[in-house]
Amino acid sequence: AQSVTQPDIHITVSEGASLELRCNYSYGATPYLFWYVQSPGQGLQLLLKYFSGDTLVQGIKGFEAEFKRSQSSFNLRKPSVHWSDAAEYFCAGIAGGTSYGKLTFGQGTILTVHP
């Protein structure tokens, strides 16, 4: 079955520290993958997307993600976290080549940033 899994429910980091949020996928072919961020009381905002080409994808707010086919992963990274990055982060995927359809979301990872 097609799925996206975020192994970490909650991560805490200190401000200024580096961050990596994990995402694993299970699709028959190369999927389209996305990272969204949700601040409290807000909708989901797209951080970045991958659909082909360079495996390292740059997004907004200084985030990047790397697509690793061998590990079926699409981890989100940021070299230095700011307090305003505290939010919930969702990885999502859809079967590649699908021109429309259902995104499958991971369970989300809550990020807490300590001063």
Size of the site for another protein (CB under 8 A): 21
Q: b/e map of 26-58 (b: 16 or more CB within 10 Å)? A: ebeeebbbbbbbeeeeeebeebbebeeeeeebe
The minimum distance between CB 73 and another protein, in angstroms, equals: 20
Pick from 34, 63, 67, 74 the residue near another protein by CB under 8 A.
34
Tell me how far, at minimum, the Cβ of 90 lies from another protein, in Å. Answer: 7
Residues in touch with another protein (CB under 8 A): 32, 34, 36, 42-46, 49, 51, 90, 94, 98-103, 105, 107-108
